[in-house]
Structures are given as structure tokens and as C-alpha cells.
Amino acid sequence: MNTDTDIAKLKKEFERIKQKGWVKSIGGGNNAIGDTLEYLLGIPRNELEIPDYNSIEIKSKNLYSKEYITLFSCAPEGPHVKEIERIRNLYGYKCRDLPKCKVLNNSIFANCKTKIGLQYYFELKIDRENQKLLLYVFDINGKLIEKDIYWTLDTIKEKLYRKLTTLAFFKALKKKYNGVEYFKYYKLELYSLKDFETFIDLMEKGLIRVSFKINVFKSGKRKGQIHDHGTGFQISEKKLLELYNEI
């Protein structure tokens, strides 16, 4: 792969898209801005853990959105073959729409504890000796009750380097006209990853977080079954230059 060539091509594609001005949204929901951009770039839907545009990973964001950027998803390991299901069953809390079912939608940091429902706290710990990122679980009184949930640092590093060494960040404006959503892609920022040690340092400082998005299906044949949207490793846009150098 020739990253310089890919960057040059992507810049030309951005100028082409920018000239279009307002473009009609493809689909709807939270992913519409990214889905529309991929359509304009001619990128097929990519469920694989490889960069979107040859050697470049593409992210897009509405100008006024304050959501964190999901770098990649990585499910934790632990004592059970279905670890996500075990975590939800043990530490989840009632779904608002289906009170008999448990969900777990929380962001976890390494520099502070996060309250989970009414009974638990989660906190990340980096174990450099054993090369693991650990999830510590505390009871309501602050007593450590589990530290068996983990991610290996090798797995995290492999995902980061495979997909995110070069990052393209498209900024867009959004509007609605006659009930239809439109986007205008007005800015392209390009970044090169610093290194994995920087990534780990930022995790320790709480600048990179892990977000569980474990829900349940609320209708249809799978109503009440687990619906895992992926465990995301995320960073604030404001902190991107802590992890990346701007190209």
C-alpha cells in the first residue's frame, strides 16, 4: 500500500464532494453522515477490520456533534466463552422499555471509577507486567469483587495498527428541508498515528475510554435477546492530536 498515493487520491475526492454542496442523506439515524460519505466515495459497506479507503481509515462527524470518536471495537475476554453476556447478566441494570431485561451502556476510564446502575463501579487498569488491560469491578462500598475481565495489549495494538495508522476526518454541516436530511462536507483533516505507547499513556490518563453498548432487541422475533453494538475504544475529537500527528 502506498499511503502518499492514497492521500493524494482522497484529497481529490474530497474536492469533488465539496463542490457538490448539499447532498441528500443516504438512509437515516446516527450513521447517516458516514453512510452518505461512503456512498459518495464509492466505498462498499465494510464490516471487516481493515481501513475504509485503501490504507486510510475514514471518520466523519457533524460540526456540532460532541460525541466521542470510536477508533475501533474490541470485545473483552474473561472466564466465560460468552463474556459479554456474562457481564450483562451480572452487572447490567434494567432496560427502561423492557424492565425484565438487563442492559449496559456505560463509558469506562482508567483514571476514575464509573458507577454502573445502582450496585457497582467499573474502572480500567493497565497491567504492563502481564500485558493486559483489566476491568476492575467494585461493589457499592468500593470493595474489589472481580478483575477477571480483560483485553490483551497485543490484541488492542494489532487492531490499532491494522486499521488506524492513517486517519481521514471529514467534517460536515447538516440541515433538514421538507423533512429530508442533507449534508455538506466542507473540511478534510488527515492524521498519522504516533505510536502504541502513546495510546496506552492516553488510556491511563483517561483520555481514551472504553464504552459498553450492550442493549436488547425491543421488538420482533428477537425481542428481549442481547443486542451488542460493540465495545468501543473512543477518544474525544479535542484530543486527537494527543494520539495523532496532523498531516
pLDDT averaged over 10-residue windows placed end to end, the chain, 247 residues: 88 96 87 91 79 92 82 93 91 90 95 96 97 97 96 97 95 91 95 97 97 90 87 94 96
Give the start-end residues of each E strand in the chain. 23-24, 57-62, 69-73, 93-94, 102-108, 114-116, 120-127, 132-139, 144-152, 166-177, 180-193, 208-216, 226-228, 232-235, 244-246
Contacting residues for 10 by C-beta, under 8 A, at least 6 apart: 53, 56, 168, 188, 190
Interstrand relation of 208-216 and 244-246 (parallel, antiparallel or unpaired): unpaired
Instruction: Supply the pLDDT for residue 197.
Output: 97
* Strand-pair partners of 107: 211
Instruction: Supply the pLDDT for residue 1.
Output: 58
Contacting residues for 141 by C-beta, under 8 A, at least 6 apart: none
Interstrand relation of 57-62 and 166-177 (parallel, antiparallel or unpaired): parallel
Full DSSP string of 10-29 = HHHHHHHHHHT-SEE-SS-S
pTM for the model stands at 0.91
Instruction: Supply the pLDDT for residue 50.
Output: 84
* Strand-pair partners of 126: 133
Collapsing DSSP states into helix, strand and coil, what is residue 97?
coil
Q: Which amino acid is at 97?
A: D
Other CB atoms within a 10 A radius of the CB of residue 143 amount to 9
**For residue 26, which of 181, 154, 229 has the smallest C-alpha distance?**
181
Cell of 184: 455538506
Could you tell me the domains of the chain?
3-63+164-192 (3.40.210.20), 71-157+196-237 (3.30.70.3570)
Q: Exposure of 181 by Cβ count < 10 A (0-12 exposed, 13-18 middle, 19+ buried)?
A: middle
| 102 phi and psi angles, rounded to 5 deg | -105, 145
Instruction: Supply the pLDDT for residue 61.
Output: 87
Task: List the end-to-end C-alpha distance of the chain, in Å, as a whole number.
Answer: 18
